Structure formats: C-alpha cells, structure tokens
C-alpha cells in the first residue's frame, strides 16, 4: 500500500489503496473518516480526480453524487442508531474549503456531546480533538466500519 494515499485520496481509492474505503458507490467512494471523535464520521469522495465542485459534474452524475450522499447519510444514521442509543441525527455538508476535490461530510451527532457544541457545526470542536490520537481511525473501529458497510449494502439493494 502506498504511504501517500492521504495526498491522493481519490486516486488511491481508484487504485484500491485507500484503506478508509467502505464501498464503491454510483458516483464516488464511501469512506470512514480519519478521525472518529464522533464515531461513524464518514465522507463521500467523488470518483473523478480533478472535480472540484458539484457543478463540475454533468447533471446526471451530480444527481448520482447527491444520491450517494443521501445513501451514506442514511447508512451512518442506521449504524449509529444501532450502536449508540444516544445517537440524535446526521449532519450532511459539502464545503470544499480545505480539500480542493468534491467531497461530502457525514457527521453523526450524539446526546453525549457537550451542550456547547451539540447544536452547532462540528467545525467548532476545539482543534485538539482533530489531532488527538485517541480519536484516530484504528482497528477498534472495525465493528463500526462493518455496520456502516452492511447498511450501505442493504440500502443499495433496496434502491
């Protein structure tokens, strides 16, 4: 596996070298996030390198990407609801402010989050949360990965 998969997440996914890939979907890749301080955080990556904005895609592919985002959001919701009784909702975001490629964030939100942040954008979490090794994706997230992947499969077969 390439050591630089993070520098080319889409290319690495296309080559089968991105270890965060959960499933290949219609217009992209469902991946689990590198950081898991909100367990189940996932991202939808577009499957075409060089696509920077949703509007860069032809309308049919744009709608397929949005449909994939919906499917990943519902899969995360179902998996998190099963694994954590304090699950509340998912937040879906297409931002594009840091990484230049088209991607969508799927953030599960929980009742155990601090009142200062639970009703606000996840980006307001303190920077140390994003870098803390305790929240780095690892083997302890295997059950979560499996649950989200299974839900993606179920939703795909019912589409």
Report CA dihedral (134, 75, 157, 149) to the nearest 10 degrees: 0
pLDDT mean over 114-142: 91
Return the pLDDT at 100: 86
Report the CATH number at residue 118. Answer: 3.30.428.10
Quote the distance between the C-alpha of residue 69 and its chain's center. 9
Phi (first) and psi of residue 145, to 5 degrees? -60, -45
Q: Report the number of distinct structural domains present in the chain.
A: 1
- Over residues 72-98, the mean pLDDT reads 95
Position 14 pLDDT exceeds 80: yes
pLDDT tens digits along 139-153: 999 999 999 999 999
Per DSSP, what are the bridge partners of residue 100? Answer: none
pLDDT at 43 over 90: yes
Q: What's the rounded Cα separation, in Å, for the pair 136 and 92?
A: 21
Task: Please report the pLDDT score of residue 7 as a whole number.
Answer: 81
Average pLDDT value over all residues in the chain: 93
What percent of the chain has pLDDT above 70?
97
Q: What distances in angstroms separate CA 69 from CA 14, 49, 108, 129, one per listed residue?
A: 18, 18, 14, 25
Q: If DSSP codes are grouped into helix, strand and coil, which group holds residue 97?
A: coil
Domain around 96: 5-157
């Amino acid at each position: 596996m390439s050591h630089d998969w993070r520098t080319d997440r889409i290319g690495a996914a296309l080559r089968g070298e991105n270890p965060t890939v959960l499933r290949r979907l219609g217009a992209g890749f469902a991946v689990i996030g590198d950081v898991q301080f909100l367990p189940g955080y996932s991202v939808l990556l577009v499957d075409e390198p060089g696509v920077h904005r949703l509007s860069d895609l032809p309308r049919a592919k744009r709608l397929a990407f949005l449909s994939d985002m919906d499917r990943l959001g519902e899969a995360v919701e179902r998996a998190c609801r099963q694994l954590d009784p304090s699950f509340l909702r998912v937040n879906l975001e297409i931002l594009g402010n840091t990484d230049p490629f088209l991607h969508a964030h799927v953030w599960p939100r929980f009742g155990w989050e601090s009142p200062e942040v639970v009703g606000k954008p996840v980006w307001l979490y303190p920077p140390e949360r994003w870098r803390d090794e305790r929240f780095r994706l690892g083997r302890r997230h295997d059950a979560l990965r499996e649950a989200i992947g299974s839900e993606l499969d179920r939703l795909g077969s019912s589409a």
